[in-house]
Amino acid sequence: MPFAALLLTLTLCACQTVGGGAIIEDEEVLRAASPTNLASLSDVVRRNPTDPQAYNMRGSVYGRAHRYEEALKDFSEAIKLDPKYAQAYANRALVYREMKRPDLALADLNRAIRLDAGYSSAYVTRGIIYRTQGQPQQALGDFNKAIELSQNNAQAFHNRGLVYQAQGLHKFAIDDFTTAVGLSVNAAEPFHARGLSYLAIGEHKRAAEDFDDALTRDDRSVEIWTSRGLAYERLGNKEQAAASYARALNVNQAYQPAVAGFRRVGGQYGASYNVN
């Protein structure tokens, strides 16, 4: 695949995620991370040894293939060649985040933002780290800035909604999840998140509808099946609740929330359930 075409493929794939801002693993990206494409990118690097973009792109593919050390080397080389390359800092931060090194990730994101104050996705990634570290105000600041810079940033709306949700501000959370749903219609995460906020405010039917929509997009999520079970349990529909918990246990039989829910509604192991 030519370098420009691979760049386009990865750019398009990067627009499809909503949740954590982590390295994406959809079918297109997995193809981009194939040995053939890595070989093509390595050939580009060999022919352009002073081109930071070539290293940055190969590093992105290494990262998506979970080859983190090789990814770090490429991003670091890109930065060495161009110390003002904001995207390489931000991409290296994603790898550090996957490697559970939020300190190094934050340092790189701070550099990326200093170099490019309009870098919306860098604010989102930094906000996610702040959110997961229990710093909601810093996270909100970054998500608000990302939204100010790009009104079409589904990740920013989704993650801001998660902050509001954690604070019990479910109306605000639902508004943000609804915006994220509109911006990324194929993503399961904002439907699931909105459903959880509906559950929290007692709108169990709306929650069940959101979980159903989420499952049309990801029917292998143990968390979504379990949430669906809880919604139907609260609606008093034990048959659908048991069916949902059973599907969750088919995905992961050790998932304790599903185990507990299945027991609560009188689910029987070995029985057949219809989730429709």
pLDDT tens digit sequence for 29-60: 555 567 778 888 899 999 999 999 999 999 99
Closest CA to 5 of 48, 49, 36: 36
Confidence (pLDDT) at 20: 52
Q: What is the average pLDDT score of the chain? A: 90
Looking at the domain that runs over 188-276, which CATH code has it been given?
1.25.40.10
Three-class DSSP category at 66 = coil
pLDDT at 26 exceeding the cut of 50: no
pLDDT at 96 exceeding the cut of 50: yes
Confidence (pLDDT) at 19: 52
Give the up-direction half-sphere exposure of residue 5: CA atoms within 13 A in the CB hemisphere. Answer: 7
pLDDT at 104 exceeding the cut of 50: yes
Alpha helices (runs of H) in the chain, residue ranges in sequence order: 3-14, 27-32, 35-47, 52-64, 68-81, 86-98, 102-115, 120-132, 136-149, 154-166, 170-183, 189-200, 204-217, 222-234, 238-251, 256-264
Q: How many CB atoms lie within 10 A of CB 34?
A: 13
| Mean pLDDT of all residues in 241-268 | 97
Distance in angstroms (rounded) separating the CA atoms of residues 93 and 111:
10
DSSP state of 144: H
Query: Do 96 and 102 form a contact (C-beta atoms < 8 A)?
Result: yes
Residue 193 pLDDT grade (very low, low, confident, very high; cuts 50, 70, 90): very high
